[in-house]
Amino acid sequence: MATKLVIEGIFEADFKDCSYGLRPKRSAHHAITCIRDSINWGVVNWVVDVDITGYFDNISHSKLLKRVEERICDRRILKLIRQWLEAGVMKEGIWHKTQIGSPQGGVISPLLANIYLNYLDTMWEKRFSHLGKLVRYADDLVILCRYKPQALEAIRTLKAIFGKLEVTMNTSKSRLVCLWKNQDGFDFLGFHHRKMPYLHKKGTMYRLRSFPSKKAMKKMRLRVKEETASRGLLNWPLKRMVEFLNPMIQGWRNYYAHLDVDRKTSNRFLAKVDGYMLRRMRLFWNKKHKKRKMNWSEMHALLQRTELKTVCTWVSRTALDEERRKAVCGKTARTV
């Protein structure tokens, strides 16, 4: 931690404005706001959505240390960083030496990852900014372009820069997206971004809308299911289960529901997660009390008394009504 504090300020002076990930006073929301402003107030019709194959596992130690040496001359710090990189990993009780890659989970790893990709940021700002605007959060990045030829040239340029960094673009996950007239959208930092129409006094206008992606919604539902499915928790009182879930719910709410713009759009999707959570809590209650059914309104009122938080920022009966329709019907059907 001490080493990170010493060298972070030095490299922060070099980092570019297009980099938002794992940096002081910058967050994913800042990156999303930058994308929204660029598309809504600029002329952006094409987006290059880039995925890097196993970025943290393929960082070249020699190239990374060379970039660190450009700004740090203290050999004690350089030796310490080299030892961190070459510390190796334990797999099934056997130590394996690491030739490439940055150890994930370390305090200094995010800083080293940004130092390595700062070469991309610098090259893009100096020589290729005419192709489009680069927005990067750690190893997640997009290029916002006006014309399709610019986007295609941006892809070729990125591949060349990645070649110098000895990382590769995942062509199966990287996409070229056309935003014009709601044709397509792209996922970035847990949100799906898409240009959608809205009525204006001048006629139909198009504006970028951001809401939780399908992948993010699936992960939230899966997490709720994992946390409530264990039979070992059936001896817990309902209030304890609520206290166990609330910090997780609050974290989702802080990230997905508190984006400055499009809160209503996000809430329409997040209400579905709240409905799924209600269904899981009802199933937990029925298993605990050996009951097959419990009235939905009673369950909703009970959870309100136990102060179960919601992911969306407004209370709506939409999720409750939707889960009623999905409720158990017949002898063989059951909730998931």
Eight-state DSSP code of residue 233: G
Higher-scoring residue by pLDDT: 180, 120 = 120
Taking residue 200's Cβ as centre, other Cβ atoms within 10 Å add up to 10
Check which CATH number belongs to the domain holding 33 and give it.
Answer: 3.30.70.270
In a domain, 271, yes or no: yes
Distance CA 272, CA 128 (A): 42
Tell whether the model's pLDDT for residue 130 goes beyond 90: yes
Return the C-alpha torsion angle 178, 180, 185, 189, nearest 10.
Answer: 90
In a domain, 172, yes or no: yes
Q: What does pLDDT average to over the chain?
A: 85
Q: Cβ contacts of residue 8 below 8 Å, gap of 6+?
A: 24, 111
Residues 159, 248, single domain; the answer is no
Residues 93, 168, single domain; the answer is yes
Residues 225, 307, single domain; the answer is yes
Residues 137, 248, single domain; the answer is no
Number of domains in the chain: 2
pLDDT of residue 85: 85
Residues 43, 164, single domain; the answer is yes
In a domain, 335, yes or no: no
Residue 277 corresponds to which tokens in the numbers above? 């959570």
Residues 308, 176, single domain; the answer is no
Residues 195, 219, single domain; the answer is no
In a domain, 45, yes or no: yes
Confidence of residue 328 (pLDDT cuts 50, 70, 90): very low
- Asked which of 207, 227, 251 is the last residue of a domain, the reply is 207
In a domain, 334, yes or no: no
In a domain, 333, yes or no: no
In a domain, 303, yes or no: yes
- Asked which of 207, 224, 243 is the last residue of a domain, the reply is 207
Confidence of residue 263 (pLDDT cuts 50, 70, 90): low
Residues 180, 317, single domain; the answer is no
Distance CA 67, CA 161 (A): 15
Residues 196, 222, single domain; the answer is no
Higher-scoring residue by pLDDT: 273, 318 = 273
Distance CA 86, CA 101 (A): 9
Residue 179 corresponds to which tokens in the numbers above? 């935003």
**pLDDT tens profile 69-107:** 999 998 999 998 888 888 767 677 777 677 788 877 778
Residues 70, 155, single domain; the answer is yes
Residue at token pair 């890659």: 101
Q: Report which listed range, 77-81, 167-171, 274-278, is most confident.
A: 167-171
Contact, 97 vs 85, CB < 8 A? no
Confidence of residue 320 (pLDDT cuts 50, 70, 90): very low
pLDDT of residue 102: 81
Contact, 39 vs 142, CB < 8 A? no
C-alpha distances in Å from residue 18, one per residue of 92, 114, 168, 183:
40, 11, 20, 26
pLDDT of residue 305: 79
In a domain, 336, yes or no: no
Contact, 273 vs 221, CB < 8 A? yes
State which amino acid sits at residue 84: W
Distance CA 103, CA 89 (A): 8
Higher-scoring residue by pLDDT: 134, 75 = 134
Residues 92, 42, single domain; the answer is yes
94 phi, psi to nearest 5 deg: -115, 130
Distance CA 94, CA 310 (A): 44
Distance CA 102, CA 187 (A): 26
Q: What percent of the chain has pLDDT over 70?
A: 88
Q: Which structural domain range is residue 51 located in?
A: 1-207
Backbone angle region of 190, left / alpha / beta, with phi > 0 → left and psi within -120 to 50 → alpha: left
Distance CA 106, CA 113 (A): 11
- Asked which of 189, 207, 225 is the last residue of a domain, the reply is 207
Q: What percent of the chain has pLDDT over 90?
A: 46
Residues 200, 247, single domain; the answer is no
pLDDT of residue 279: 87
Looking from the CA of 80 toward its CB, the CA atoms found within 13 Å total 15
